[in-house]
């Protein structure tokens, strides 16, 4: 018999095992291990997402750290846990913060918190925002909000921000100025200030001359016009006094007003005394020292009688003849110097 055929026969015979008592033994079935039960994570009623709008800043730049929190229906968070004072930062400063809250049709509430941060330090080794814990609660029917206890906490991830600067690292002293001398300026630039000032003066000189000449012309014109107008007013005053009617009490009061005004203006124009603003006694004292040939006694008596008639009661108004005599005295005073 061939050797390979013999080996095959021996192998087949070994597979058949004689059973005891003439019965063949059966091979027991192999039990497979049961797969482990799948553990499903419990979904929280609050979902959190946090991010920054940039991952690196320069000194003085601003970065916005935004936190979005989505609460299921009937759940909410404690807003005090997200106050600006609760946010812990390293190497950063909180400039401003704001928050918004919206609720959709499904009853889910979305909170968004924005924090604006910056840094002005150049020696900070790293800039970071530490994680933050926020408590949440779930409201049940018939339970007041102030009686609710926190149901749990959610962790808000922090953030790390890289600091970019043109200053070299590990520098302890920051010199604002170097030790080099200033570069000398061009001689033209050195004299530019003096040249500009001289040009301004030269440009203002013609305007100053024109303004001065205009003022002189106006002054002369005013003086000449005042003298001529004074003569015209003097004649008009005499004509007005001569044409006054003193028949009634009202006419006589008006006549005394005209006399007082005309005499006082005449004294102010020729004696240099501010007679319109003085009383009769003050005018008499001023005329005593004024270099004028005006009849002081007549003027003082006329003004005193005029003021008495102007402010007298109805029964104290002088008669028509007395008023005509006062008008005649006024014409004599106004006619002299």
pLDDT in tens, 291-333: 777 788 888 888 888 888 888 888 888 888 888 888 888 888 8
The H or E element spanning position 326 is helix 320-335
Whole-angstrom distance, CA of residue 327 vs CA of residue 333: 10
pLDDT band at 53 (very low <50, low <70, confident <90, very high): very high
Predicted pLDDT of residue 3: 60
Instruction: Tell me the whole-structure pTM to 2 decimals.
Output: 0.41
Average pLDDT over residues 242-258: 82
pLDDT of residue 265: 82
Beta strand 109-118 with 89-90: parallel, antiparallel or unpaired? unpaired
Q: Is residue 179's pLDDT more than 70?
A: no
For residue 225, name the pLDDT band (cuts at 50, 70, 90): very low
CB 255 within 8 A of CB 327: yes
Distance CA 174, CA 156 (A): 37
Backbone angles phi, psi at 87, to 5 degrees: -80, 120
DSSP state of 198: H
Dmax (CA) for the chain in angstroms is 190
Using the 8-state DSSP alphabet, how is residue 38 labeled? P
pLDDT in tens, 200-209: 888 888 888 8
Answer yes or no: are the C-beta atoms of 305 and 326 closer than 8 Å.
yes
pLDDT tier for residue 24 given thresholds of 50, 70 and 90: very low
Task: Give me the long-range contacts of 189-193 (CB less than 8 A, separation at least 24).
Answer: none
Q: Which is higher by pLDDT, 144 or 100?
A: 100
Length of the chain: 337
Which pLDDT score, from 0 to 100, does residue 222 have? Answer: 47
Q: What is the mean pLDDT of the chain?
A: 79
pLDDT number for residue 323: 85
Dig out the tokens for 42 from the structure: 């419990």
- Residue 265 or 153, more confident: 153
């Amino acid at each position: 018999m061939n050797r390979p055929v013999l080996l095959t026969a021996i192998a087949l015979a070994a597979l058949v095992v004689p059973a005891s008592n003439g019965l063949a033994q059966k091979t027991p079935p192999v039990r497979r291990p049961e797969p482990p039960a799948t553990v499903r994570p419990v979904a929280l009623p609050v979902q959190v997402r946090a991010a920054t709008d940039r991952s690196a800043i320069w000194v003085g730049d601003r970065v916005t750290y935004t936190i979005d929190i989505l609460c299921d229906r009937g759940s909410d968070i404690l807003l005090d846990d997200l106050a600006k004072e609760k946010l812990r930062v390293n190497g950063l400063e909180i400039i401003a913060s704001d928050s918004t809250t919206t609720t959709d049709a499904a009853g889910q509430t979305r909170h968004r918190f924005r924090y604006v941060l910056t840094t002005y330090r150049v020696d900070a080794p790293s800039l970071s925002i530490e994680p933050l814990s926020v408590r949440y609660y779930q409201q049940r029917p018939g339970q007041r909000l102030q009686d609710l206890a926190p149901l749990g906490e959610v962790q808000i991830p922090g953030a790390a921000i890289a600091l970019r600067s043109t200053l070299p690292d590990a520098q302890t002293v920051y010199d604002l100025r170097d030790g080099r001398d200033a570069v000398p300026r061009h001689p033209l630039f050195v004299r530019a200030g003096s040249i500009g000032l001289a040009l301004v003066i030269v440009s203002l000189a013609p305007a100053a001359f024109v303004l001065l000449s205009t003022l002189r012309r106006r002054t002369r014109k005013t003086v000449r016009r005042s003298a001529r107008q004074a003569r015209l007013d003097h004649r008009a005053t005499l004509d007005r006094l001569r044409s006054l009617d003193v028949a009634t009490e009202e006419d006589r009061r008006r006549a005394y007003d005209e006399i007082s005004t005309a005499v006082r203006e005449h004294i102010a124009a020729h004696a240099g005394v501010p007679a319109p603003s003085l009383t009769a006694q003050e005018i008499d004292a001023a005329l005593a020292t004024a270099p004028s040939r005006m009849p002081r006694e007549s003027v003082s008596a006329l003004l005193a009688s005029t003021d008495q008639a102007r402010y007298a009661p109805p029964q104290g108004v002088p008669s028509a003849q007395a008023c005509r005599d006062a008008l005649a005295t006024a014409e004599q005073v106004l006619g002299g110097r």
